[in-house]
Amino acid sequence: MTLVGVQQRKVAVHDLEVGMFVSDLDRPWHQTPFPIQGFYIRSEDDIRALKSHCRWVMIDVAEVRDTTKFEQGEIKPAFGRRTLRRGGDREELKLPPLAIQEPVTYETTTTLKKEIKVSRQLLDDAELALERAFESLQEGGEADLRPVAEITRKMVASVIRHPDALLWLSRIRAHDDYIYRHSLNTSIWALVCGRHLGLNEGLLNHLGMGCLLSQVGKTVLPRSLLNHEGQFSAEDYARYRTYVEKGLAMLEGTGVSRAVLSVVGGHRERHNGSGFPQGVRGTRIPLMAKVAGIAEYFESLIGPRDGGDDPMTPAKAVSLLYDMRNIEFQEDLVENFIQAIGVYPTGSLVELSDGQRGIVVSHSPERRLWPKVMVMTDQEHKPLKSAHIIDLARYNESRDVNEALIVKECLPHGSEGLDPSRYDVTGAESRWNFSRLISG
């Protein structure tokens, strides 16, 4: 008796045929325009597109095996999760596909221009609310967290209306205190991902508030310790790890929900059990804590503490995050996070293939490599008198692959001549002309 299954086979792109199912590439999926979950080759155009990006791919083929040994009990079938090793000593843990109960599909209901106007003051108010709440919790008094809850509701409402506005504002504004900046930006990344996942508004509120409060335990750690975050000795790292439990203790009795506490307590746990404080893994980590963990890690890469590691470009951070799927972070959550924020997230400084430089204004999940870019320099990197918007997806729509205008590279935040805080995409009080940015 035979058992029919599926196995992968490596095929050079010039040997591909219509009808084959492409299940893996010779490069990360997110660096190509192809669907992350794989796809059937429907036409010769699909083959030509693969040839322009890859040298070889993996295809799924039917596998026929003798099942005699299964029937005789010599081999036991395995079900459920698998534990593998990939990348040296890093343990890989695979779980069944993620399932969101009753997911909500959100429509963008306003333009980026309008939402930025509405939410411009929101992050300043959020930082003030956090500062007051953290100071009160640090002093051990009765902290009133209602202002933080109200700020969270406004942030959730903004992200639901348009997911790019708060991302834009958070990337162009200056922050005085790393803890507040880190908390706010983590919350925004997490909310954008949660919106993409279809979490309902109530869950988004829990997620956002949990992220805002996730760093409160650091306020009782020595400043000298925090200044070396990312460069710890073994002893200092052991002290640093206590901030999660200290934060939970500080929030005890404040009336915050169990869902919020689960985010605070679980945002540093990792998929393969390598996190803290409990070292739990896989399904034992609550979903919202997993989302918060990805968001917090991503923010630590692109916006590290001053004096610490050099900030990573968002594109490099996305690549690193993708490489950690099923190791420190669950695979489908990583993929959803990348789909939500884009390969070049809103606020990323980029150089285009023709030399022009600018900043990503928004992106399309369907065209991850072709975002909308506000161009601020010419091809010689000299500032333009008027900034203008190029929608790469629309620009490249009717052009040949060789004529396409693409993102050549992602630039470090703070690159010379590209200071986003000088520009106002709403067109108000601006020395630049943003009339082309008329729609989200």
Q: Can you give the pLDDT at residue 356?
A: 95
Most confident of 146-155, 331-340, 410-419: 146-155
Beta bridge partners of 364: 367
pLDDT at 421 (0 to 100): 62
Quote the crossing angle between the two packed helices 146-161 and 112-119, to the nearest 10°. Answer: 170
CB 196 within 8 A of CB 155: no
Which residue type does 325 have? R
Mean pLDDT of all residues in 400-404: 82
pLDDT at 424: 57
**9 — pLDDT class (breaks 50, 70, 90):** confident
* SS3 of the chain: helix, strand, coil, percent, to 5: 40, 15, 40
- Backbone dihedral region for residue 381 (phi beyond 0: left; psi -120 to 50: alpha; all else: beta): left
- Cα 352 to Cα 83, 403, 407, distances in angstroms: 41, 13, 4
pLDDT for residue 184:
96
pLDDT, position 86: 44
Element (H, E) at 124: helix 122-138
pLDDT of residue 24: 80
CB-based contact 343:30 (threshold 8 Å): yes
Neighbouring CB atoms inside 10 A of 297's CB total: 20
**Best CA proximity match to 171, nearest among 309, 287, 342, 328:** 342
Bridge partner list, 66: 2
pLDDT of 83 over the 80 cut: no
Contacts of 224 by beta carbon, 8 Å cutoff, 6+ apart: none
User: What is the rounded (10 degree) CA torsion for 104, 108, 110, 116?
Assistant: 90
* Choice between 168 and 423, residue whose per-residue pLDDT is larger: 168
Q: H-helix or E-strand containing 351?
A: strand 349-352
Q: Which has more confidence, 414 or 326?
A: 326
Residue 416 pLDDT class (50, 70, 90 cuts): confident
Q: CA-to-CA distance for 317 and 105, rounded, in angstroms?
A: 27
Residue 135 confidence (pLDDT) above 80: yes
pLDDT-derived band of residue 172, with 50, 70 and 90 as boundaries?
Answer: confident
pLDDT digits (tens, 9 = 90+) for 14-45: 888 887 888 788 877 766 777 655 677 878 87
Averaged pLDDT of the chain: 83
Q: Which of 2-6, 11-15, 58-62, 262-266 has the lowest mean pLDDT?
A: 2-6
Q: What are phi and psi of 425, to 5 degrees?
A: -70, -15
Interior angle at CA 110, CA 35 and CA 181, nearest 5: 80
265-318 tens-digit pLDDT:
999 999 999 899 999 999 999 999 999 999 999 999 998 887 667 788 898 899
Say which residue, 429 or 93, is predicted with more confidence.
Answer: 93
Question: How does strand 2-12 pair with strand 56-66?
Answer: antiparallel
**How large is the average pLDDT for residues 185-192?**
97
In contact, 345 and 365? CB cutoff 8 Å: no
With a cut of 70, say whether residue 164 has pLDDT above it.
Answer: yes
Predicted confidence (pLDDT) per residue in 198-236, tens digit: 999 999 999 999 999 999 999 999 988 888 776 778 888
pLDDT for the residue 90: 60
The mean pLDDT value for 329-350 works out to 92
The pair of three-digit structure tokens given for residue 168, joined into one six-digit string: 């834009």
Q: Which residues, in sequence order, are CB contacts of 405 under 8 Å at separation 6+?
A: 352, 353, 354, 390, 392, 395, 396, 399
pLDDT band at 422 (very low <50, low <70, confident <90, very high): low
Give the phi and the psi of residue 190 in degrees, each rounded to 5.
Answer: -65, -40
Distance CA 200, CA 160 (A): 10
DSSP 316-327: HHHHHHHHTBTT
pLDDT tens for 37-76 read 567 787 887 888 888 888 888 887 654 444 444 344 443 3
- What torsion do the CA atoms of 424, 163, 169, 408 make, to the nearest 10 degrees? -70
Per-residue pLDDT, 35 = 66
Q: What confidence score (pLDDT) does residue 368 get? A: 76
Q: What are 35-44's contacts with CB under 8 Å, separation 24+?
A: 36/335, 36/338, 36/339, 41/16, 41/17, 42/18, 43/18, 44/18
Overall average pLDDT of the 168-177 stretch: 80
Would you say 295 and 334 are in contact if contact means Cβ atoms under 8 Å apart?
no
Strand order in the sheet with 367-377: 383-391, 367-377, 357-364, 349-352, 407-411
Full-prediction pTM beyond 0.95?
Answer: no
Residue type, 28: P
Q: How high is the pLDDT of residue 45?
A: 79
Among the ranges given (54-63, 130-139, 272-281, 408-417), the one the predictor scored with the smallest mean pLDDT: 54-63
Strand (E) or helix (H) holding 359: strand 357-364
pLDDT of residue 79: 28
CB–CB of 374/388 below 8 Å? yes
Spatial separation of the C-alpha atoms in residues 51 and 12, rounded to whole Å = 9
Mean pLDDT to the nearest integer, 100-113 = 92
- pLDDT at site 413: 78
Q: How far is CA 365 from CA 163, 336, 337, 343, 345, in A?
A: 12, 10, 11, 9, 11
Tens digits of per-residue pLDDT, 366-388? Answer: 777 889 999 989 999 988 877 88
Confidence (pLDDT) at 176 = 67
